Structure 1
């Protein structure tokens, strides 16, 4: 069973037995669909041939066009990804063999691909660039990915750009999400948690040293590179990332030839946009200063790391409410506790690590560098209990997912949907916030 904490749907996939049932139904539907397409293909092909025989004056070009169309239908029937491949620029398909669609967003698609010469697997993220806002958002993500190079951060191999689309060729992570790995394994102890958190903290320290703020750190964006036990954990999805002001001001001092030097307009915009006051990210992981529209920094990522640590050790959220207004009030109060199962079995050092991260004032919050030096991570939980927390974590994740799936999506309480400030708001007016649901519609949220 796979649990998704804070996903856009917040639902649990069916039990294995039910999965078999749904797969059977899906197979029957797909089989019938293929039969229908095959029959339509034959009928169209026969119609063209009959037309060629009955009409002596029909040109050979007409018949050939009909045969081409029937062949195209046959290709779509046998290869469901054929239509999607057509969206890719010829430069991309000349270098990479597009295998399958593995993810989709409101303005992006992610496919699994293989380099035609080396046969090395990659993930290609296709970004639809529409309007100035979409172009700026794409360039922001691209600017970060071009700069970063760390073992615990997703790596960008190359980029293809057109007028309306950008193709990011990224390393392919096949080991699954962080929580998927936790649930899949039969045992999970504090030592296992520290191994994962050490890698995440290392990646964050590198990003923050560069002046990059991720702004959407959550378990779904933490992927294992391969299924093996020794796999590295990598931070992904920089769609909401931005640069700190100190980075914008220090552009002129960079000597790195691989660093993308922004124009004067980009520099001024980045300085003007600081401090970052835009409310964006996933609600359950938002830091208090973001909700209050106060100046925020890399400390917002550390708050999110505290939420992730809490989930990793218990399978539950520190701030879990039935509506967004209640959730935001709980975050602003810092209202979390270590009551219930399995917190009695969790060490004081682990709780101290969380407390240092879930601190309301960002200036008092632990930094990524300090997190790497925290006794709990340094000792790899050597003094902690060796109790297996797997059963409690899995049970709490299941309860959380069951509650989330029963909530009405239209109420604006669907967990995990990204949230952002509505564009066009006046600087001095009361901010209006919206969250995109699975259909891409913007929902109003009381603030």
Structure 2
């Protein structure tokens, strides 16, 4: 289950970067079809962490690792291995493998995602159709594409600085000013995407990666598996998809929606950055979704007393039920909290509180995962090996969950109320 859609062929947005395939199977593959509401497989055993971990060079590993590298090297098309040296496997999915490679001439490291053309068709189409058109300093870059009869090879930038959460925990200091720097970069990338008619639809901290380990590293927006590219003035989408804690209320209400869903997610991310807690959080999906469609969140707790009023104002103007009243990416990037960060943003070190809350949630999620596994069969356990802690990519919004949500009489009333706030939108 997941994003279901119809297909259109959008016009290539003006002033976009276009990565052409290096090698194709046949003439049929020359005619790319692009989704109006691009889809992805949501039943993956493990979502490819293509840019999340970097193994050490295989030369530093034992014979076992060398055998693994050789195994995946042998599976690659010779056109790829002629140009790139395969170094290490860094991620795997049901229909794909991700390896760290090195350009044989420049010695520049990259990541290559090798995807099955048939079984993984929907997995790679969404990312490929978007990334081959974008070129932005804060968006992971697709370098080139090799298309072989059975496989597609996507050569991409390699982000080695780790996830946003991990950096915060390891840093020892994190202030509002640090948060505004992160958000300024993210909003710059999102504003660029929206200008091209692209909606990410799965913005969350684990999809925001640091380019390198240095303290001055930029943030990179990654993972476009749920993204959508639309043409026309409305840019309306109707697909029910996303990550539960970050999904916008209009998607839950099954209203036609726009790229403003990304701004709701940015509001959630900001709340997490400043507190280490989620604005909407409940293990029960129905209760979680009801909190979201009411925009029911608060600033209770000691950790919020050190957060500035301007920061809370930024959150309040992104976590707005009516998408028409929600800040756009352009408006959000001009919010006083971001523009005047040096003067307005608090320099209070929030690290201790944030890291404690993040680690506490990580522990709770780990225990919850263990408990769930203990009650399931061995077969089920095998399919639930993927992440725990704060990573939510193992937990997708499922359309059947929304079906159940809409059957609840109380929720129906809440959704009707939500609809009245959005009459001009739908």
Shorter chain as denominator, the TM-score bin is 0.7 to 0.9
CA distance in 2, matches of 1:164, 1:445: 39
CA distance in 1, matches of 2:297, 2:261: 17
Q: Is the 8 A contact 1:277 1:293 kept in 2?
A: yes
Superposition pairs of residues 48-447 of structure 1, within 5 angstroms? 78-130=66-118, 134-246=120-232, 275-407=236-368, 408-409=371-372, 415-419=392-396, 432-433=400-401
Residue 381 (structure 1) shift: 4.8
CA distance in 2, matches of 1:144, 1:136: 13
Task: Report the 3-state secondary structure (helix = DSSP H, G, I; strand = E; otherwise coil) of the residue aligned with 2:94.
Answer: coil
Residue segments in structure 1 that go unaligned for 5+ positions in a row: 1-7, 10-30, 35-74, 250-273, 422-430, 435-443
Q: Is the 8 A contact 1:216 1:282 kept in 2?
A: yes
Residue 168 (structure 1) shift: 0.7
Deviations 1:247-297 (A, max 9, x none): 7x9xxxxxxxxxxxxxxxxxxxxxxxx732212121111111111111111
CA distance in 2, matches of 1:165, 1:140: 16
CA distance in 1, matches of 2:342, 2:264: 21
CA distance in 1, matches of 2:208, 2:66: 34
More helix by share: 1
- Residue of structure 1 equivalent to 2:415: none
Deviations 1:401-429 (A, max 9, x none): 111122244699x84424255xxxxxxxx
Q: Is the 8 A contact 2:185 2:218 kept in 1?
A: yes
What's the TM-score once normalised by structure 2's chain length?
A: 0.72
CA distance in 2, matches of 1:142, 1:317: 31
Q: Is the 8 A contact 1:218 1:304 kept in 2?
A: yes
What's the TM-score once normalised by structure 1's chain length?
A: 0.69
Deviations 1:167-202 (A, max 9, x none): 110011111111111111111110011001000000
Residue segments in structure 2 that go unaligned for 5+ positions in a row: 1-44, 47-60, 376-383, 407-426
- Residue of structure 1 equivalent to 2:380: none
Q: In the superposition, relative to structure 1, how do residues 126 and 389 fare at CA in structure 2: closer, same or farther (>3 Å)?
A: same
CA distance in 2, matches of 1:340, 1:78: 51
CA distance in 2, matches of 1:126, 1:321: 36
Q: Is the 8 A contact 2:244 2:397 kept in 1?
A: no
CA distance in 2, matches of 1:311, 1:420: 20
CA distance in 2, matches of 1:409, 1:304: 27
Deviations 1:362-402 (A, max 9, x none): 11111110011000000115223321100000110111111
Which of these two proteins has the greater Rg computed from alpha carbons? 1
CA distance in 1, matches of 2:217, 2:115: 28
Number of corresponding residues: 332
Task: Report the 3-state secondary structure (helix = DSSP H, G, I; strand = E; otherwise coil) of the residue aligned with 2:85.
Answer: strand
